[in-house]
Amino acid sequence: QQQVKQSPQSLIVQKGGIPIINCAYENTAFDYFPWYQQFPGKGPALLIAIRPDVSEKKEGRFTISFNKSAKQFSLHIMDSQPGDSATYFCAASYQGGSEKLVFGKGTKLTVNP
């Protein structure tokens, strides 16, 4: 199974809230899990990535939590700001495979002032 399932499809929070976006995968060979952020009119850009040897990774206000046994990973945005309004994609791939990423379908996040 190559699929990565992402939820929710859209999310609206107030400024300062903590939006959480969830992803689940089936292929246990996956060992690289990046998140991409896309602003309107722009291509996606890497936000943060994790490998399964750690359960959490933080970069600024963005945190990935990883649960290997459940085959799930999630993105948390602390103290969200209107400038965080964007579409977020989770993805997965594995060493020894090609360099292809399998993307989730995306979550459109709106942070209201």
Partner 1 sequence: DVKVTQSSRYLVKRTGEKVFLECVQDMDHENMFWYRQDPGLGLRLIYFSYDVKMKEKGDIPEGYSVSREKKERFSLILESASTNQTSMYLCASSKRLAGLQETQYFGPGTRLLVL
| Nearest-approach distance from CB 30 to partner 1, in angstroms | 10
Residues that bind partner 1 (CB under 8 A): 6, 9, 32, 34, 36, 41-46, 49, 89, 93, 95-96, 98-101, 103-106
Six token digits for residue 12: 């609206």
| Nearest-approach distance from CB 102 to partner 1, in angstroms | 8
| Nearest-approach distance from CB 79 to partner 1, in angstroms | 25
Task: Name beta bridge partners: 108.
Answer: 10, 87
**Cβ closest to partner 1, residue 47 vs residue 111:** 47
DSSP of 46-73: EEEEE-TT-SEEEETTEEEEEETTTTEE
Q: Rounded to an integer, what distance in angstroms lies between the CA atom of residue 89 and that of residue 38?
A: 8
**Cβ closest to partner 1, residue 19 vs residue 104:** 104
The residue with tokens 């290997």 is 68
| Nearest-approach distance from CB 8 to partner 1, in angstroms | 12
CB 74 within 8 A of CB 65: yes
